[in-house]
């Protein structure tokens, strides 16, 4: 399963990219606002930090303007992936862009039928929002299971990008189900490295090592 980080904070992205475990980045208008930098500039900066896809979202609601915005965004770098909302105009834009070889991430997916439509529109990625789905009384991971089943039934190549990931259980379940990608905030990804017994084990080993009076270097 690929790991994308869901942020426009370049320091956090650089930090995670240095682990060698980062496969891409997702942003959205809220995350861009939070970063407080120029959209085009910060997107260019992010594209230089990772080799994988960097999702940059259009903000227009009509197909013609989405296409114009996508034109600007895709010129930023070769690894820009255009993010469009799951609407009729969004999927028209998805179809046009992917037919032209541009990567597209279809966002704000909350049903398996929506995911089916996105795959038929040739989406590179579909982003079901599991955390927000949970918040509204549904089981976000059931949605991922349904999409996996449907995509496998018809051998769709659209990659399932689990989004709105809030904790490690979302990550674990995504991997169990066979999602292609998950995107999570930096804190959630960093939390995956942690285990209380790892910390306790290091503490014990270091205490015993000190008794030997030796150094490795």
Residues with active-site annotation: 83
What's the min distance (Å) between Cβ of 49 and ligand E4P? Answer: 17
- Site size toward ligand E4P (CB under 6 A) is 11
Question: Residue 182 burial (CB < 10 Å; 0-12/13-18/19+)?
Answer: buried
Nearer to ligand E4P, 98 or 105 (CB): 105
Among 118, 183, 188, 189, binds ligand E4P (CB under 6 A): 183
Give yes or no for residue 163 binding ligand E4P (CB under 6 A): yes
d(CA 83, CA 90): 9
Q: Is the torsion defined by CA of 13, 18, 20, 21 positive or negative?
A: negative
Interacting residues with ligand E4P between 127 and 156 (CB under 6 A): 127, 129, 131-132
Cβ atoms within 10 Å of 5's Cβ, excluding its own: 27
Q: How far is the CB of 72 from ligand E4P (least distance, A)?
A: 20
Looking at the Cβ atoms of 112 and 126, the one nearer to ligand E4P is 126
Quickly count: other Cβ atoms within 10 Å of residue 168's Cβ: 14
Which residues 15-54 are close enough to bind ligand E4P by CB under 6 A?
Answer: 26, 28
Which residues, 6+ apart, have CB-to-CB distance to 145 below 8 Å?
177
Closer to ligand E4P by Cβ: residue 24 or 210: 24
Q: Applying CB under 6 A, which of residues 93, 158, 164, 174 lies at the interface with ligand E4P?
A: 164
Can you name the residues that pair with 2 across neighbouring β-strands?
181
Q: Cα 203 to chain center, whole Å?
A: 34
Angle at which helix 63-74 crosses helix 39-49, to 10 degrees, equals 50
DSSP character at residue 6? E
Residue 106 CB neighbour total at 10 angstroms: 31
Which of 5, 6, 13, 159 binds ligand E4P (CB under 6 A)? It is 6
Give whichever of 5 and 112 is closer to ligand E4P, judged by the CB atom. Answer: 5
Question: Which residues inside 98-127 make contact with ligand E4P, applying CB under 6 A?
Answer: 107, 127
List contacts with ligand E4P (CB under 6 A). 6, 26, 28, 107, 127, 129, 131-132, 163-164, 183
């Amino acid at each position: 399963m690929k790991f994308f980080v869901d942020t426009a904070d370049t320091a956090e992205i650089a930090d995670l990219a240095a682990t060698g475990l980062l496969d891409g980045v997702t942003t959205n208008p809220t995350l861009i606002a939070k970063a407080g930098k120029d959209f085009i500039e910060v997107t260019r900066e992010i594209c230089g930090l990772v080799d994988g896809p960097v999702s940059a979202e259009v903000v227009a609601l009509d197909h013609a303007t989405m296409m114009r915005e996508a034109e600007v965004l895709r010129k930023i770098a070769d690894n820009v992936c255009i993010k469009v909302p799951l609407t009729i105009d969004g999927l028209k834009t998805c179809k046009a862009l992917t037919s032209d070889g541009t990567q597209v991430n279809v966002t704000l997916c909350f049903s398996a039928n929506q995911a089916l439509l996105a795959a038929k529109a040739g989406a590179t990625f579909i982003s079901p929002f599991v955390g927000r789905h949970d918040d509204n009384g549904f089981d976000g991971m059931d949605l991922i299971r349904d999409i996996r089943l449907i995509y496998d039934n018809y051998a769709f190549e659209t990659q399932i990008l689990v989004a709105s990931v809030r904790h490690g259980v979302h990550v674990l379940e995504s991997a169990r189900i066979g999602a292609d990608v998950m995107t999570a905030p930096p804190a959630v990804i960093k939390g995956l490295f942690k285990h209380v017994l790892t910390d306790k084990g290091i503490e014990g080993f270091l205490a015993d090592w000190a008794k030997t009076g030796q150094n490795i270097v």
